[in-house]
Chain A
Amino acid sequence: MSDIAHPAPVKLGIKMGTMLLLSGALAISGCKSKPPKELPPEPGAATSTDNGQYGNGVATPGSQADFVQIMQGADTIYFDTDRSDIDSADQAALAKQAQWLARYPNKRATVEGHADERGTREYNIALGERRASAARNYLVSLGVDASRLSTLSYGKERPVALGSDEQAWAQNRRAVTVTID
């Protein structure tokens, strides 16, 4: 049995170096699978965690509601089918998350990984965990203490977009960072 790490985490390190070269191409190819960014950010209804009050006055600084407000959708990153690569759009979102987490160093967070419905149940749980781990690893690479971040996979069991089409599936292949109040 080979004990090399899985391609995705390895590629993470490589990609960070080559990203400047590739970012243009990735951004274009990434667009096809990404949900439209002009959509308002999901209020987090599909996550298991209560995101707190939202859109009702100013959220308490450092709260999950504050995190959601400031992220403007960047609390979620999206993936291609069966993939867990962190592309340039994901990097920008995770950098924004890391900034917020740096501002509130006592806050902990869970990265929730999800898959679309077009896969088998158990594999999708493992795939969601792989996606959550990829996001978590990237946050750690940006300086967030690993002990502050946990992962949780829901597989395909908690879709945020309820349709059965490419656009819905693209929105459901995601990792959502939820801070713990």
Chain B
Amino acid sequence: MTLRFSTLAFLLATATGLTAAPAFAQDAPAPPVAEQPTNEADDGGLTGSVSDENEWQNIGIAITTFATDRDVPTQTNAGSTAQLGQAISQVIASDLKNNGLFKPTGPDGLPQPTLPEVQTPSYATWSGRGADMLVQGYVKASADGQLTVGCYLYDISLTRQLVKAGWQFAATDWRRAAHKCSDLVYSRLSGESPFFDSKIAYIAETGPKGRRMKRLAIMDSDGANHRYLTSGQSMALTPRYSPDYSKILYLSYLNGQPSIYSYDLATDRQTLIARTGNPTLAPRWSPDGKWVLYSMAKGGTTDIYRISSAGGGTPQQLTNGPGINIGGSYSPDGSQIVFESDRSGSQQVYVMNADGSNQKRISFFGGRAATPEWSPRGDQIAFTHIAGDLRVAVMTPSGGGMRHLTNSWQDEAPTWSPNGRIVQFFRTAKGSGQASIWQVDLTGRNERRLPTPVGASDPAWGPVRP
């Protein structure tokens, strides 16, 4: 399959209509329209495969320090606009690394363009450096503390601009501008949807194995902007970001009664999602954020319920035993739910309609299958395969095509990147029980650990931010 230029056209359209106020300098040249939506022919530039099975060519991408019109202080930890220009380039290089698609270089060791050169690259200089692509940009600070960041992608051998976009952010959100630029480059070159400008809720773990403290925490998709949300006095587990990032559902052992709370990120207030008199666990959002699934344990059996996320209303029981029925992950269109049940005698994966009807098992490949999560693309279900070791695996929604993405002692609880190309999970070390968050792409080849300040588990990846 060649790269999908129809996706690109869509992206170009959306990139210029971003709510984050596209803001090109007035003197920017008219954007050269590189591709038309109908142009699916091989233009001699980018060809490659985006299927899971074939290895990507590593595309060499040079990323220069973003230029600025005036080197002025900013209200960020990154320093002045000139320092910010370098920091943004570093974040982009770091984003684009480790996906198995790109071979980024810079900004260190590369020529630093002046502001005019950002939009008129000297292709001859770059063609001698072995890079296929060039990413340049600028940072400008306005008096009100806002930053304007422009991002340009050039094809060096074709000597032309492929895509450009600009955004305005509060200075403190400068990393988001870098992630937006990474998303622009990633999407343009891969034909896939963006995912870098997104956040992750997880559980931060500290202390000895027998009494480990578990706190609710959040971070950006690259591990930056880390923040603890709970003190650790009550054990926190299994968070899930709401689709609009306004709330986090999670399990808290507050007052010794394990229950699902909704943490409001604007007010830092927490509310019980359901008063049941029984332990509730395994919270999940529907894709539109209108529904919440929770599981309730009662007298040795556990069942899945659905309740309005707005509060109120009678919970609707979706499963009715036997055994432990738990979790649940909606298909992207909200019509079906994949969940876990041991009604057959061991943990297996089942699919049902969103109203609980038509429950059927889909996992039939030996071992146990747990924690299913439906891909945002709809085509795959990630889960934990337990056969001796715990490994992250994927299968189709009908249970076919099972394959392992990881091979370690204990990997569990996959969560999808917003574009359905990468799976995060947590890995527990044998003996010490130390937990860490990792991610792997769908080929299973590109695996890496996410930097977290302390031990980390239960990652929950939210959608791309608008």
Contact = CB atoms under 8 A, between A and B. Distances in A.
Report if A and B associate in a common complex.
yes
Interface of A: 1-9, 45-46, 48, 82, 84, 117-123, 125-127, 129-130, 133-134, 137, 152-153, 157-160, 162-164
B237 interface: yes
Given A1-B321, A163-B431, A129 B209 contact: no
Contacts of B324: 123, 126-127, 130
A5 B321 contact: yes
B303 to A, nearest CB: 10
A48 B209 contact: no
A122 B257 CA distance: 15
B327 A122 contact: yes
Interface size class of B (residues with CB under 8 A): 35 or more
Contact of A7 (B211, B322, B326): B322
Contacts of A127: 324
Contacts of A126: 281, 295, 297, 302, 324, 326
A153 B258 contact: yes
Contacts of A134: 300
Contacts of B430: 164
The 7 tightest CB contacts between A and B, nearest first, are: A133-B300, A129-B297, A1-B320, A126-B302, A120-B370, A126-B324, A130-B300
B214 interface: yes
Interface in B390-438: 390, 410, 412-413, 428, 430-431, 433
A129 to B, nearest CB: 4
Majority secondary structure, A binding face:
loop
9 contacts: A3-B321, A82-B346, A120-B386, A122-B281, A126-B324, A157-B235, A159-B210, A162-B208, A164-B431
A25 to B, nearest CB: 21
Contact of B390 (A84, A118, A162): A118
Nearest to B356: A1
B458 A121 contact: yes
Interface string B150-176: 000000000000000000000000000
A122 B457 CA distance: 12
Contact of B237 (A2, A130, A157): A157
B282 interface: yes
A59 to B, nearest CB: 23
Given A5-B301, A164-B430, 10 more contacts: A5-B321, A82-B346, A121-B412, A122-B281, A122-B371, A129-B297, A130-B300, A153-B297, A157-B212, A157-B237
Contacts of A2: 320-322
Contact of A6 (B301, B370, B412, B428): B301
Contacts of B297: 125-126, 129-130, 153
Contacts of A164: 430-431, 433
Nearest to B383: A120
A77 to B, nearest CB: 15
Given A3-B321, A6-B321, A157-B214, A118 B326 contact: no
Contacts of B320: 1-3
Nearest to B300: A133
B321 A122 contact: no
Contacts of B220: none
Contact of A120 (B300, B319, B347, B431): B347
B412 A120 contact: yes
Contacts of A152: 256-258, 279
A176 B47 CA distance: 62
A130 B258 contact: no
B148 interface: no
A117 B433 contact: yes
Contact of A159 (B209, B327, B370, B457): B209
Interface string B310-326: 00000000011111101
A162 B430 CA distance: 10
B305 to A, nearest CB: 14
Interface in B296-352: 297, 299-302, 319-324, 326-327, 340, 342, 346-347
Contacts of A45: 210
Contact of B256 (A48, A137, A162): A48
Contacts of A118: 386, 390, 410
